[in-house]
Homo-oligomer: A and B are copies of this chain.
Amino acid sequence: MATLGLIEYNEASPEVRAVYDNIMATRKTDWVNNFWKAIAHDPATLKRTWEDMKEVMAPGALDALTKEMIYVAVSVSNQCAYCIASHTVSARKKGMTDQMFKELMAVVGMANETNRLVAGYQVEIDEQFKPQNQ
């Protein structure tokens, strides 16, 4: 369930159906996951989010797997259970091995730890790290 319920394909408007079709074609799957069915209540947000997602997640200077792992890293930091579950599956489909997953988690854990040590010790940015000195 979701706040406004989920819009299934057979009850979707042509506008929403077009996005669902594009999602399935792009991902080469025959189903659409709950996230899209939930936000389909707002066709403008559905369309905008899907198009942004396609553009942002497409392989470029970073390959598709690296991008998925970054997505997982952010979702883990934010404690978004749905996003962790879905993007971990996506990352696996794009080639994330168990070993890669474990290293990903170790880095995410470590970064969250040192982010707070830095804050707590009130560490100032070194001159060498300031953008104007790069």
Interface residues of A (CB under 8 A from B): 1-5, 31, 33-35, 38-39, 41-42, 44-45, 48-49, 52-53, 55-57, 60-62, 66-67, 69-89, 92, 97-126, 128-132, 134
Contact of A114 among B3, B72, B83 (CB under 8 A): B83
A-B contact pairs, 13 of them (CB 8 A): A2-B123, A44-B106, A45-B109, A56-B107, A71-B107, A75-B111, A76-B116, A77-B77, A80-B118, A83-B114, A105-B117, A105-B120, A109-B117
- One complex includes copies of this chain to the number of 6
Contact present for B109 and A4 (CB under 8 Å) = no
B101 and A109 form a contact (CB under 8 A): no
